[in-house]
Amino acid sequence: MPIELKINGRIYQISVSPRKTLLQVLRDDLGLTGTKEGCGIGECGTCTVMLNGKAVNSCLIPAIRVAAWEITTIEGLSDGESLHSIQESFIRHGAVQCGFCTPGMIMSAKALLDANPHPNREEIKQAISGNLCRCTGYKQIIDAIEDASKK
């Protein structure tokens, strides 16, 4: 069925199966492969995007339900070569290893800092508690988000 999705400020008019999740549409239909799939059933947070400013697992969202909502994916954070301060902070603090959890982790961080520009470490931990990371051990990620909140 035809739907209109607003992603990263741009309107996409596409026809999708009603069974498809937002994650599948982003990756398969729109070629926005920055958002990754870690489990497909909402248990890892890898597919986190922002929906009207809130961090959500895009693998749990039927695409047809979010027409006309503001969707932000990792691709929407940087402007060509220049990166968002959260992205720069992740690089600076060594908060990226394999990088697979990184887009989802950054989106959760963005949602947090948009709503709460100066969170304490507990609030940071809470905001990313649904984002699994198997490589970094999280310490450098918390440092990165904390540092980004100071900019």
Cβ 24 vs Cβ 57: under 8 Å: no
Instruction: Name the residue among 25, 27, 24 with its Cα closest to residue 15.
Output: 25
Sheet with 70-72: strands ordered across: 10-15, 2-7, 70-72, 48-51, 54-57
Residues numbered 44-63 forming contacts with other proteins, rule: CB under 8 A: 44, 46
CA 118 to CA 97: how far, in whole Å? 26
Closest C-alpha among 1, 2, 130, 8 to residue 69 = 8
* Residue 107 CB, nearest approach to other proteins (Å): 10
- Residue closer to other proteins, measured from CB, 26 or 61: 26
- Taking CB under 8 A as the rule, does residue 116 contact other proteins? no
- The interface region with other proteins, picked from 50-58, 62-70, 110-118, 125-133 by CB under 8 A, is 125-133
137 sits near other proteins (criterion: CB under 8 A): yes
- Binding residues (CB under 8 A) for other proteins: these are 17, 19, 27, 31-41, 43-44, 46, 73-75, 77-78, 83, 87, 90-92, 94, 96-103, 106, 125, 128-142
